[in-house]
Amino acid sequence: MDISATMTYPAFLRWAGQDVSRVWASAFAQAGLPWRNAHEIEIGSGSSAVSSCDPKERVFASSGPFYCSHDSSGGTVYLPLSGIEQLLFPSGSYRSVDFALSYVVAHEWGHHVQDMLGLLDGRPSILIELQADCLAGVWGHTAWARGLLSPGDIKKAIVAADLAGDAPGTPANAPDAHGSGAQRVAAFLAGYTTGRGSSCNRW
């Protein structure tokens, strides 16, 4: 997946979010289900936003990416720019690992899909997070089918999923557990290989 030399880092995140949203809006329409877009906020250096989650949490550029289902807009994807850079490639340029960025965006939008389907409440964190990884893989499958990916892009997503895994020894029932690197890679590949949202039902 190539990034235009004129496309900025925030613009690329915005493009990815818009594409993921279009894909899921189409899938919901085909299934006869209602869909509404989430609001996406890219937070740069020197700026912040206030989320209705955790509660009224202020999100800074160095925060981690997350989704809040309680915002007045009906769901918000928060994409803190430096926080994502630190998570995925602290010593490298995003331009060389752009599909890794897309994976992060698709994962957070996966939470919006879960929200629309009523799958966020009353479930262990690890199952919610792994299912979002799987849903990100479903979007990745469509990106490949539409010719948006370059050779090696999926490897970048796999590396990103592994890097985003919980620290060794994190209990599976921890309140904020996301799954080990291996579990997150397996979940992403489950969605990517089949391209079907039903493949994510196991979580």
The reply to whether 101 falls in a domain is yes
The reply to whether 97 falls in a domain is yes
The reply to whether 161 falls in a domain is yes
Q: Which two tokens stand for residue 27?
A: 């899938």
Interior/surface letters 49-63, b for 16+ CB within 10 angstroms, e for the rest: bebeeeeeeebebeb
Whole-model pTM: value is 0.92
Confidence of residue 180 (pLDDT cuts 50, 70, 90): very high
Domain range for 171 is 9-34+91-200
Whether the predicted pLDDT of 108 surpasses 80 = yes
Q: Is residue 38 within 8 Å of 116, Cβ to Cβ? A: no
- The per-residue pLDDT for 18 is 96
For the chain, helix (H) and strand (E) counts, in that order, are: 6, 5
The reply to whether 82 falls in a domain is no
The reply to whether 174 falls in a domain is yes
- The per-residue pLDDT for 4 is 52
The whole-number average pLDDT for the span 22-36 is 97
Distance between CA 159 and CA 155 in Å, rounded? 6
More confident residue, 65 or 93: 65
pLDDT for 125-165, tens place per residue? 999 999 999 999 999 999 999 999 888 888 888 988 998 89
For 151-197, give the DSSP string.
Answer: TTHHHHHHHHHHHTSPPTT--TTSTT----HHHHHHHHHHHHHH--G
The reply to whether 120 falls in a domain is yes
- If one counts the domains in the chain, the total is 1
- The per-residue pLDDT for 38 is 93
Whether the predicted pLDDT of 72 surpasses 70 = no
Average pLDDT over the chain reads 89
- The per-residue pLDDT for 3 is 55
More confident residue, 94 or 199: 199
Confidence of residue 73 (pLDDT cuts 50, 70, 90): low
The reply to whether 86 falls in a domain is no
The reply to whether 185 falls in a domain is yes
